[in-house]
Chain A
């Protein structure tokens, strides 16, 4: 069962524009969420996280928004750069299952110069 869903397998945006990557989850026990970025032939690298006590967390060009009632989160990248081209994974965990992190299938972002 896919408890974390990234319904868009790919996204293409122009350099300088905003990239919005979406993620939905079904498990209401999830209360901590992360985004990872993955380049080809490399492992995922941590990008940004958010706890369910917040609805927004910002780090430079990256902002994550959380809508708990909709069980939805999104990652905004502004402005997008060609180096942001990668696969982005959304992940979630529940306090009951501490280190058991569930990943989405990923969204491939392409930023065109």
Chain B
């Protein structure tokens, strides 16, 4: 079975550029999560969707970050403009059922470096 697929795996770009991270959840899963992992703050939840609808975006650091889920099989996390402090590993995860009792399945992450 295909797991959560994230692209790209690595992204290196210059400060000020727009960055788009992509995620394809596991087919049939109706909850999708975006996380950011840094050395300082560990793994933080940025935003999550239930049935393609954003439920809680209180973890999104600032207006430069936006996330969309146009359909059940695709989501994007966009940073515009990017800054060096956005450098981190970004994970997407999906789960079935929309409750916390269903474990989240993570993609392998996108390692983002902003120069």
Contacts and interface: CB of A to CB of B under 8 A. Distances in A.
Interface of A: 2, 32, 34, 36, 41-46, 49, 89, 93, 97-106
Contact of A106 (B42, B91, B98): B42
A101 B4 CA distance: 18
B115 interface: no
B41 to A, nearest CB: 8
Contacts of B50: 99
**Best-buried of B4, B45, B100, B106 by chain A (most CB within 10 Å):** B100
Contact of A99 (B4, B91, B100, B105): B100
Contact of A43 (B45, B56, B103, B107): B107
A102 B104 CA distance: 13
A103 B42 contact: yes
Looking at chain B's contact residues, the main secondary structure is strand
Nearest to B109: A43
Given A99-B31, A100-B56, A42 B108 contact: yes
Contacts of A102: 45
Interface of B: 4, 31, 33, 42-45, 48, 50, 55-56, 91, 93, 95, 98-101, 103-109
Contacts of A44: 43, 91, 106
B106 A43 contact: yes
A49 B104 CA distance: 12
Given A32-B100, A49-B103, A99-B50, A43 B108 contact: yes
Contact of A98 (B4, B42, B100, B107): B100
A41 B104 contact: no
Nearest to B55: A99
**Best-buried of B44, B104, B109 by chain A (most CB within 10 Å):** B104
A105 B43 CA distance: 7
Contacts of A43: 4, 91, 93, 106-109
B107 A101 contact: no
Contact of A34 (B56, B99, B103): B103
A41 B10 CA distance: 11
A43 B93 CA distance: 9
